[in-house]
Structure 1
Amino acid sequence: MDSLGLFILLMLLFCVWTAAPAAEEITWTYTGLVGQSEWAEYFPSCGGTSQSPVDMVTTQTKYDPSLTPVTPLGYSQHGNQPFTMYNNGHTAVIELPEWMSLGGLPWLFTAVQMHLHWGSGGPSHGGSEHTINGVSADAELHVVHYNSELYSNMSIAMTQKDGLAVLGILIETGEETNTAFNNILNYLSRIRHADQKALIPAFDVQSLLPKDLGRYYRYNGSLTTPPCYQSVFWTVFSEKVQISKAQLYKMETILYSSKAEEKDRMLLQDNYRMTQPLNHRVIFASFSADSGKELSSGEVTAIVIGVMCGCVGLAVVVRFIIKTIRFFTLLHHETVAVNSSTSSWDVLHSIRPAPMPRMNDLEKAKDKKQDMALNSNSDAEKREEPSPCPQTEP
């Protein structure tokens, strides 16, 4: 009887074991039968309290001055060996050589691979996994590293809480083509279907990163795809990188999540996970809130135009003020000059002496009086002198 019971128990265990596939063998998707809402049912870690991605609310982040700039090591030393790129049915993965690593963290983390997440609606329709203040970027690049100081390989490290470090680079759409991203996008046609693999020319991986590696957000989280192990030190840069609209369109439309032999082709789109609750986690920032906020390209353009208009307006106002001051100064000087001239004339006119008679006029008057006196005497003598007597002839 005991043997029969043991046999039945073993048969039941065997049936359960064969009926339930391993979690690694389950084909998960972003939507569908084993979509995001069902991940936790098949992958328990996906229901944990420290899941990624998250929304980074800038007003709720905490400034940590000990966060030094991230230091990529060997990213530019790609060598002559080509990179391997493959389509795993969920994204395009580029394997990275082991000499690439990441400094600026408590341990040395060795690079393993990088991959992309995107949407389906073109610019301004979302596609990134992480968001800032509730706003999605158009796509997101992840560069994955494992803790090579404590663990021997990626498989072991990914199950440990301090095992992985991932860089998150938010991607937005601009006007210019990003030549660095063409090192990936130009070869996507070689891996259009799931399970396809191709060799691509090696390139400078650091050229994919933003220029400012000192401004970022840091928090403890998880892988954003099953099995969702909560083992990631996340570093999400605040500065976005730009690609053109044509590059984003190629990213969103060229790959399939289906295999080449499958008749029904399914475009690989919207391969991003929705943001997860923080659950009392703290997001740290390497920069303080008053050192500058995040600005979109449109906001920067508006600020530049506003500053230019403000400068022009200020110049016009200053010029008007200067001209007004000059006008009133000149008017004041003219008024003072007129007033000064009138006052002097009045004073001088009132005190000037009577004009002195000229000497010639006095002399002429004196001579005239003398002439008149002589004439009077001469006339008197003539009247007193007797007339002569007439003479007789003999």
Structure 2
Amino acid sequence: MDSLGLFILLMLLCSQWTAVPAAEETTWTYTGLMGQSEWPQYFPDCGGTSQSPVDVATTQTKYDPSLIPLTPLGYSQHGNRPFTLYNNGHTAMIELPEWMGLGGLPWLFSAVQMHLHWGSGGPSHGGGEHTINGLSADAELHVVHYNSELYPNMSAAMTQRDGLAVLGILIVTGEETNPAFNNILNYLSRIRHADQKVLIPAFDVQSLLPKDLGRYYRYNGSLTTPPCYQSVIWTLFHERVQISKAQLLKMETILYSSKAEDRDQMLLQDNYRVTQPLNHRVVFASFSAESGKELSSGEVTAIVIGVMCGCVGLAVIIRFIVKTIRMKEPEKVKEQKQDMALNSTSAAEREKSPLPSLQTEP
């Protein structure tokens, strides 16, 4: 009877161990049975208090004058070795050489990879992960680095609080094509299915970044995908980069999250995590509220047109005033001449008229 009880107990323990698969073996998704709401069950850090992405409420950020502009190291010196573009079933990822790095942080960080997040509804339907004042971008680029000054590799660094540094670049759509992003998008058709890889020509990674690297938001957060380690120093740039609507459409419709041999083919879409609670964390800004005001192209155009209209209006007014003055001056001169003529005539007439004779008394 004791042996039977021990056997039953062992069976129960085995069933408990196998009921929840190991985190390393778990295939997670953004929606469905293994979607975002279920991540904490299999990846405990995903339920932590310092998760990413977050919404940046600009009125609640804190200006930190010690935040200096970031310095990409070797981003533009890509060399001749090709990059590896990889569909991992969750995103399109490019592996980066370790000699690329990032300066402007407390430690030296070496590049690991970069990847994209996007939606499914085209422009203005979301797809970026971080939001600013509740507004989402159409897509988002992440460039991942590990702390190579303190840790030997990515695996060792990713579990440490100061182990990773990720650049977040918000992407919006416009009319013009962004040639830099075609270095990635033009090759997506070669990795349409999960687990497919392709070598692509190396290119200037810095061309993907905003021109202004001095204005950004900084906070401590996590990886935005499982295992959601809370080890990321986030830098979210204030300036957005722009791609065309056609480029966004290609990003949203060309890849599959399923493998080539799978019967059910599923498009790789909406691969972004919803924003997480800030939980008393502070988001710092490298610029003050006054200097951080950025005008849109429409606002700039409106201001330029307004200034031009104002100048034209002022010129018209000045011209009208000058013309009026000039019109009045001849009249005044004419009146003065007429007065002078009248005065001259009166004087002449007085000179010609005889003086009255003096009468003497008899």
Provide TM-score, normalisation by structure 2.
0.91
Do 2:83 and 2:201's aligned partners in 1 also have CA atoms closer than 8 Å?
yes
Q: Which secondary structure does the structure 2 equivalent of 1:165 belong to?
A: strand
1:260 Cα offset (Å): 0.7
What CA distance in whole angstroms lies between the structure 2 residues aligned with 1:299 and 1:242? 17
Other-structure match for 1:125: 125
Other-structure match for 2:116: 116
Other-structure match for 1:392: none
**Cα distance change, pair 311–40 in 1 and its aligned pair in 2 (3 A):** farther
Other-structure match for 1:250: 250
Do 2:215 and 2:292's aligned partners in 1 also have CA atoms closer than 8 Å?
no
Of 307-316 and 263-272, deviating more is: 307-316
Q: Aligned letter for 2:322?
A: I
Q: Aligned letter for 1:283?
A: V
**Cα distance change, pair 276–307 in 1 and its aligned pair in 2 (3 A):** farther
1:301 Cα offset (Å): 3.1
What CA distance in whole angstroms lies between the structure 1 residues aligned with 2:354 and 2:113? 116
**Cα distance change, pair 80–61 in 1 and its aligned pair in 2 (3 A):** same
Of 1-10 and 235-244, deviating more is: 1-10
How high is the sequence identity, in percent, across the aligned residues? 81
1:313 Cα offset (Å): 2.6
Other-structure match for 1:322: 322
Other-structure match for 1:385: none
Other-structure match for 1:43: 43
**Cα distance change, pair 346–311 in 1 and its aligned pair in 2 (3 A):** same
**Cα distance change, pair 38–317 in 1 and its aligned pair in 2 (3 A):** farther
Residue 90 of structure 1 pairs with residue 90 of structure 2: yes
Other-structure match for 2:263: 263
1:137 Cα offset (Å): 1.4
Do 2:22 and 2:42's aligned partners in 1 also have CA atoms closer than 8 Å?
no
RMSD: 2.2
**Cα distance change, pair 107–5 in 1 and its aligned pair in 2 (3 A):** farther
**Cα distance change, pair 136–319 in 1 and its aligned pair in 2 (3 A):** farther
Q: Which secondary structure does the structure 2 equivalent of 1:318 belong to?
A: helix
Residue 70 of structure 1 pairs with residue 74 of structure 2: no
**In the TM superposition, what whole-angstrom CA distance separates every residue of 1:115-150 from its partner, at most 9, and x where no partner exists?**
001111112222111122222211111000011111
1:5 Cα offset (Å): 7.3
What CA distance in whole angstroms lies between the structure 1 residues aligned with 2:290 and 2:328? 45
**Cα distance change, pair 263–314 in 1 and its aligned pair in 2 (3 A):** farther
What CA distance in whole angstroms lies between the structure 2 residues aligned with 1:127 and 1:251? 11
**Cα distance change, pair 2–310 in 1 and its aligned pair in 2 (3 A):** farther
Residue 228 of structure 1 pairs with residue 191 of structure 2: no
Other-structure match for 1:148: 148
Do 2:112 and 2:144's aligned partners in 1 also have CA atoms closer than 8 Å?
yes
Other-structure match for 1:282: 282
1:158 Cα offset (Å): 1.3
What CA distance in whole angstroms lies between the structure 2 residues aligned with 1:330 and 1:272? 77
What CA distance in whole angstroms lies between the structure 1 residues aligned with 2:346 and 2:103? 93
What CA distance in whole angstroms lies between the structure 1 residues aligned with 2:161 and 2:233? 9
Unaligned runs of 5+ in 2: 356-362
What CA distance in whole angstroms lies between the structure 2 residues aligned with 1:301 and 1:102? 35
1:114 Cα offset (Å): 0.1
Other-structure match for 2:99: 99
Q: Aligned letter for 1:221?
A: G
What CA distance in whole angstroms lies between the structure 2 residues aligned with 1:105 and 1:155? 20
**In the TM superposition, what whole-angstrom CA distance separates every residue of 1:6-27 from its partner, at most 9, and x where no partner exists?**
7765554343223321112222
What is the aligned residue count?
355
What CA distance in whole angstroms lies between the structure 1 residues aligned with 2:307 and 2:275? 37
Q: Aligned letter for 1:264?
A: D
What CA distance in whole angstroms lies between the structure 1 residues aligned with 2:343 and 2:120? 90
**In the TM superposition, what whole-angstrom CA distance separates every residue of 1:197-221 from its partner, at most 9, and x where no partner exists?**
1111111111111111111111111
Q: Aligned letter for 2:171?
A: I
More helix by share: 1
1:337 Cα offset (Å): 3.4
Provide TM-score, normalisation by structure 1.
0.84
Unaligned runs of 5+ in 1: 357-394
What CA distance in whole angstroms lies between the structure 1 residues aligned with 2:180 and 2:297? 20
Residue 206 of structure 1 pairs with residue 206 of structure 2: yes
Q: Aligned letter for 2:137?
A: A
**Cα distance change, pair 332–136 in 1 and its aligned pair in 2 (3 A):** farther
